[in-house]
Every structure is written in structure tokens, then in C-alpha cells.
Amino acid sequence: MQVRKLLPYFAQGIAIGLVIGLIFYFFAMPSATQQRPVVEIKESPHSTVVTTDGPASYANAVAIAAPSVVNINTTKLVSGQKHPLFNDPAFRRFFENQPQAPRERRDNSLGSGVIISEQGYILTNNHVIAGADEIQVALTDGRQAAAEVIGSDPETDVAVLKISLDNLPSITFGQSDSLRVGDVVLAIGNPFGVGQTVTQGIVSATERSHLGISTFENFIQTDAAINPGNSGGALINAAGELIGINTAIYSRSGGSQGVGFAIPASLVKSVMKQILEFGHTVRGWLGIEIQTINPALAESFGLKETRGIIIAGIMPKGPADIAGLKTGDIILQINGQAIIDGTDALNRIAQTPPGKEITLNGIRQGKPFAITAHTSSRPLPQNRAPR
């Protein structure tokens, strides 16, 4: 009797379950006409084997370039300090019979260079030879010669030397402006004085700047190992052509950590030509101190873009002062072309030959203005001490 009484409840539960199931089927599940999202992917129809057109060996490139890469040994005479007690009256009598002339010692340092002509001209870094009293060049064939400094440019860290020897091997310049990230490069030099060494890597980046290495920066970055002593050596492509002069590394330990920098051959060639023609570089100059526009300055001046420079100082009676530029002027264009930052502006001004007109467009006290100035010759910097 009790089971018979419970049957209606069981039937009711089954009916409710069927109704819920039908509702879920018709409303929760996608209908036959409902379209599912289609995700398109690319899939290879067969197994792909990656191949390369590069050579299995770079020995031919090294054989072409290596003879023109030289070792540079510099000697600097350094005056020693007098004994610290020499100026003390209580101890001076002990030094009466000793010579008072300061003692001298010889400091030697090593670097590298590249012969760029059969006449004996050699490219290297300014910091390799700065302050040197003697410069000795050693070739891979065992010959040695004293070198004369033809000229140097601390602002790009380039120096030109000359030796007098016959039958000199010279390197071929490559097209550094057409380099691409990923191109194979080889660094040749004399790291740690162990002898000529070749390391291989790729171009990690181009047009590197804001590194604080030199005034005018446009570096090739590479992971080819560059160590102390490599400075001034050649960075070549897979054809054995010069595409850069190795100049610096970024390192926490002092050794190579895969971040090296080379001056592009195009920039080196331009500096070299000026040194050979004038004995020094010739660049345009306006006599201004500049500051790059940052987001805070852009907001305070109501600028729509964070670019350009602000004049932070003007040299009295300099080209900018004569032209009428004022401290606080914002410069957004040079010769009709937008400028990005202070480095860009400095390069544009320097590339304008002395005596030529240069047009500056910007904002003064919230209003647009334009001024035409005549560049002067950039003052020659003093040599920096070797790094």
C-alpha cells in the first residue's frame, strides 16, 4: 500500500526531469542552423627543413681581411708623484740629498687598427692612441713600424695613423648603411694581447645611440665577442669587407657579454676624409645648450607630441645669439624636417657645413616662430684619456 501511494510522486519527478531535459536541449545546446566560430591557422602540408645560404666556413672572409688588421702598442710617459713626506718640514731633511725631479714610468696599452690604403693609412679608435708618446704597429706578417698620428676625432672616437712600409695589405670598405639585423659579422683584433683573434656573431641592432660613449653615436651593435684590446679592430661581413670599427663593449665583468658596439664604416669614412683633408673634422655649430623634450615638458608647454628640444642656454655672440634665438625656445624642426630628440638635433646641426644657412622652426611663448641662422665651425674638443 505504501509503494502504491508513492508512485504518483515518482511519476511527477520523472515528468519534471523530462521537461527540464527538453528545455536544455532546445535552448542551451546550439541548433543545427547556429554557426560555430571558425579559427583560421596556417599549417605546413609537409615537414619543413630550414636551410641557409651562408657558407659552412668564414675562412675566406678572414683570409681577405685579416692581413690588414694590425696590433697597436702605445707607450705613455707618466710622471711619478713625489714622496708624500717631501713637503713635510719635519721629514724634508731626509730628502735633501735625493733628486727632486719627479720620477717617470712607462705605461703600455694594446689595441688594434685597420690598414685602409697601400699608402700606410690606418684607422683605429681615438681612445687607443690618446695621450700616447710612442705608437708601434705590428702586422700579421711580422713587420713592425712606428706610427704617426695624422689626426683624431674624440667626438666619434676615430683616429687616423700612418706608417711607412712597402707592399701593405689594405681592406675593402663595405656598405654599412645596408646592414640588416641578423647579418653575420666577424670581429678581428688583438684581445688581451694574445694575438690576432677572430670572433663571429650577428648584427644585433643598428643606429644605436644614447649610450654615452661618444658625442656623435650611430653604432652597430653585435654579439660577436669584443674584449679589451679589440678596440680599433675590424668588424667585417661574410665577404671580408669592412663594415665597422670595433670600439666598445657593455659589460659588468670587463669581458665580453654579447653586447659590443662598432662605428659604422660610412661614418668612419666620412670622418677619415675630413681628417685627411683638413687635419681635423669640420662640423656645424650654433653655440646652444639643448635639452630633449620629455613627457613632463611636453605637458607643461601644451605640446601634442613628445619630441623636439628646448634651448637651455645660448653662448653670447655665438651663431644662435646673433640669429635671435632665446633661452626657452622650443625647436621642433630643422630645415623643414621634424626632429626627434637632442641627439637628432645635434647631428642635424653638425652635418650643416660652417657658414651655411640653417632654418629652425618651433614655439616661443606659445606662438610658432621661424629663425634662419648661419652655422659656425664647431670648436675642436680636447682628446679624451684612454678608456
Give me the count of residues in the chain.
387
Give this prediction's pTM: 0.73
Q: Annotated catalytic residue: which of 231, 256, 266, 376?
A: 231
What pLDDT score does 13 carry? 64
- Could you tell me the three cell numbers for 44? 605546413
What pLDDT score does 200 carry? 92
| Euclidean distance between CA atoms 146 and 138, whole angstroms | 9
**Residues 6 or more apart in contact with residue 335 via CB below 8 angstroms:** 348, 352, 358, 359
Class in CATH terms, 284-377: mainly beta
Let me know if 127 is a catalytic residue: yes
Q: Annotated catalytic residue: which of 109, 127, 176, 344?
A: 127
Let me know if 204 is a catalytic residue: no
What pLDDT score does 91 carry? 55
State the residue for C-alpha cell 712597402. Answer: 166
| Euclidean distance between CA atoms 331 and 362, whole angstroms | 4
For domain 59-80+102-162, give the fold.
Answer: Thrombin, subunit H (2.40.10)
Q: Report which of 203, 195, 148 is spatially closest to residue 174, judged by C-alpha positions.
A: 203
Long-range contacts, stretch 143-149, CB < 8 angstroms, 24+ apart:
147/72, 147/122
Query: Can you name the residues that pair with 263 across neighbouring β-strands?
Result: 245
CATH of domain 176-278: 2.40.10.10
Give me the tens of pLDDT residue by residue for the chain, a chain 387 residues long.
455 555 565 566 666 666 666 665 555 555 545 555 665 543 445 544 445 566 778 999 999 999 999 999 998 876 655 555 556 565 555 555 555 555 666 677 789 999 999 999 999 999 999 888 899 999 999 999 999 999 999 989 999 999 999 999 999 999 988 899 999 999 999 888 888 999 999 999 988 877 777 777 788 999 898 888 889 999 999 999 999 999 987 666 666 667 889 999 999 998 999 899 888 888 888 999 989 888 988 888 888 888 899 999 999 999 999 999 999 999 999 999 999 888 889 888 988 888 899 999 999 988 999 999 999 888 877 544 333
| Euclidean distance between CA atoms 353 and 337, whole angstroms | 17
| Euclidean distance between CA atoms 75 and 86, whole angstroms | 29
Q: Annotated catalytic residue: which of 68, 109, 152, 157?
A: 157
Let me know if 374 is a catalytic residue: no
Q: Report which of 258, 381, 372 is spatially closest to residue 319, judged by C-alpha positions.
A: 372
Range(s) of the chain covered by CATH 2.40.10.10: 59-80+102-162, 176-278
In angstroms, what is the C-alpha Rg of the chain? 34
Range(s) of the chain covered by CATH 2.30.42.10: 284-377
